[in-house]
Amino acid sequence: MSTQQRGASSFEGQTVLVTGAGRGLGRACALAFADAGAQVIAVARSVADLHSLAASTAGKVTGWAEDVTSESFYQHLETLAQLDVLLNNAGMNRPLPVQSVDPDTLDAMLDLNVRAVYRTSQSAARVMLKSGRSGSIIHMSSQMGHVGAARRTVYCMTKHAVEGLTKALAVELGPHGIRVNSVAPTFIETDMTRSMFADAGFRTSVLENIPLGRIGKPEDVVGAVLFLASAGSAMITGDSLRVDGGWTAR
Q: What is the CATH number of the domain that holds 110?
A: 3.40.50.720
Q: Is 159 a catalytic residue?
A: yes
DSSP for 129-157? HHHT--EEEEEE--GGGTS--TT-HHHHH
Strands 178-185 and 240-243: parallel
CA dihedral 97, 103, 106, 108 (to 10 degrees): -130
Is residue 2 domain-resident? no
Q: Is residue 250 part of a domain?
A: no
**Domain-located, residue 249:** no
Residue 3 included in any domain: no
Which pLDDT does position 4 carry in this prediction? 41
What is the predicted pLDDT for the residue at 6? 38
Q: What is the pLDDT of residue 5?
A: 36
Q: Which of 60, 74, 130, 159 is catalytic?
A: 159
Which one is catalytic: 60, 130, 155, 167? 155
Range of the domain at 178: 15-244
* 55 within some domain: yes
- Examine residue 170 and state whether it is found in any structural domain, yes or no: yes
CB 202 within 8 A of CB 170: no
Q: Does the residue 178 lie in any domain?
A: yes
Number of domains forming the structure of the chain: 1
- 246 dihedral zone (left: phi>0; alpha: psi -120 to 50; beta): left
Which residues of the chain are under the pLDDT cut of 70?
Answer: 1-8
- For the question of residue 118 being annotated catalytic, the response is no
pLDDT of the residue at 26: 98
Residue 101 lies in a domain: yes
Measured on CA atoms in the order 152, 155, 161, 165, is the torsion positive or negative? Answer: negative
pLDDT digits (tens, 9 = 90+) for 47-67: 999 999 999 998 999 999 999
